C-alpha cells in the first residue's frame, strides 16, 4: 500500500522569501508523484508531476520539485513566494497511470506581507 | 480549454434523504474518479471508472453507488444520508493519451442537516 507524509501541516513565510514544502512517500513499487494546490473553496489544481526521467520537475507559478528515490521524497520549492501563493498544498502518489491518487494530509502555506 | 464540470455546486439535504451528484469529464478522457474531502481533510478516493466499467474501489460506503454512462458522464448516488457525509465531493478525469494526470472539477459541497 502507498502512503504520503507531509511533514508540516502549516508553513508561514514572508513574501518574497523562499519556501520548501516537504513530502515523503512509501511504496513497494514505482510511483508517479504529484503536487496539487487548493485555494479556498476551490478544486484541486495540478502544480507539477513526476512520471519518469529528469528528477527535477518544473511546474506552474514558478514551483519546482525534486524526486529523490533514495530518500523517497518529493519536496516542493519556490525561490520567492507571493501573497497569492497562500493556499493548501497536497502531495499525492499513484501506482501507475489511471490509478487512484493517495494524498498527504496537506500543508497550509501562509504568505505574510 | 474545457474542464471537468460538476453539478450541482452546492446541495443541502436532510438526514436519511438521497442525493445525486453529476460529473462531466473533459472530452476524450476515458477515466473518471470520485473523491470525498471532509472539512480540513485530504481527499479520499471513493471509486473510479475506465471506459464505463468500474476500475477501482476505495472507501465508498455501501449506501453510495456510482456509474459511468455511454456519454462518459458519471453520477454518484448517495442514499440514507448521514451528518458525516457532509463534505466536498470531487470528480476528476484523466486519459492515458494525455499523460495520466487527473484534472479535478470544482467540487460539489454537500451539507447534510
Specify the pLDDT at position A98: 76
Mean pLDDT score across all residues of chain B:
93
Residue B86 sits at the vertex; the CA angle it makes with B82 and B91, to the nearest 5 degrees, is 120
Tell me the CB-side half-sphere exposure of residue A113, using CA atoms within 13 A. 2
For chain B, the first-to-last Cα distance in angstroms comes to 37
Is A113 in contact with A83 (CB distance < 8 Å)? yes
Question: Does position A2 have pLDDT exceeding 90, yes or no?
Answer: no
Mean pLDDT of the residues in chain A: 92
* Contact criterion met (CB < 8 Å) for A51 and B99: yes
DSSP string over B47-105: EEEETTEEEEE-S--TTEEEEE-TTS-EEEEE-S--GGG-EEEEEEEE-GGGTSPPEE-
C-alpha distance from A70 to closest chain B C-alpha (Å): 24
At B14, is the pLDDT very low, low, confident or very high (cuts 50, 70, 90)? very high
- Note whether B67 and B57 are within 8 A (CB): no
For an interface test with B, the pick among A101, A104, A105 (most B C-beta atoms closer than 10 Å) comes out as A101
* Cβ–Cβ gap B106/A44 under 8 Å: no
B22 in reach of chain A (CB within 8 A): no
Q: What are the tens digits of pLDDT across the range B35-53?
A: 999 998 999 999 999 988 9
Residue B93 near chain A (CB below 8 Å)? no
B84 touches chain A (CB under 8 A): no
CB pair distance less than 8 Å for A98 and B100: yes
pLDDT in tens, A45-83: 999 999 888 889 999 999 999 999 899 999 999 999 999
- CA A99 to CA A42: how far, in whole Å? 23
Q: Single out the residue of A100, A25, A88, A26 nearest to residue B60, CA to CA.
A: A100
pLDDT of B99: 65
A42, A45, A106: residue with CB nearest B42: A106
Instruction: Considering only residues B83 and A95, tell me which one the structure prediction assigns the higher pLDDT.
Output: B83
Average pLDDT of span B15-26? 97
Cα separation, B100 vs B61, in Å, equals: 27
Cell of A109: 502555506
Select from A67, A64, A65, A85 the least CA-distant residue to A17.
A85
> Residues of chain A with pLDDT > 70: what percent?
100
Amino acid at each position: 500500500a502507498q502512503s504520503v507524509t507531509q511533514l508540516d501541516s502549516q508553513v508561514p513565510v514572508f513574501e518574497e522569501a523562499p519556501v520548501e514544502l516537504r513530502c515523503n512517500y512509501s511504496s513497494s513499487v514505482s510511483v508517479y508523484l504529484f503536487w496539487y494546490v487548493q485555494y479556498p473553496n476551490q478544486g484541486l489544481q495540478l502544480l507539477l508531476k513526476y512520471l519518469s526521467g529528469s528528477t527535477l520537475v518544473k511546474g506552474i507559478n514558478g514551483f519546482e520539485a525534486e524526486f529523490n528515490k533514495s530518500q523517497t521524497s518529493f519536496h516542493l520549492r519556490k525561490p520567492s513566494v507571493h501573497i497569492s501563493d497562500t493556499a493548501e498544498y497536497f502531495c499525492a502518489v499513484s501506482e501507475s497511470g489511471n490509478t487512484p491518487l493517495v494524498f498527504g494530509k496537506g500543508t497550509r502555506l501562509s504568505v505574510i506581507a | 480549454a474545457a474542464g471537468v464540470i460538476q453539478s450541482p455546486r452546492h446541495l443541502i439535504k436532510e438526514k436519511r434523504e438521497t442525493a445525486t451528484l453529476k460529473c462531466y469529464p473533459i472530452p476524450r478522457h476515458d477515466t473518471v474518479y470520485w473523491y470525498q474531502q471532509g472539512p480540513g481533510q485530504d481527499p479520499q478516493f471513493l471509486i473510479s471508472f475506465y471506459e464505463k466499467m468500474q476500475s477501482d474501489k476505495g472507501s465508498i460506503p455501501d449506501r453510495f453507488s456510482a456509474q459511468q454512462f455511454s456519454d462518459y458522464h458519471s453520477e454518484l448516488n448517495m442514499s440514507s444520508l448521514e451528518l458525516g457525509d457532509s463534505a466536498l465531493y470531487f470528480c476528476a478525469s484523466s486519459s492515458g493519451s494525455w499523460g495520466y494526470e487527473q484534472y479535478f472539477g470544482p467540487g460539489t459541497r454537500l451539507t447534510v442537516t
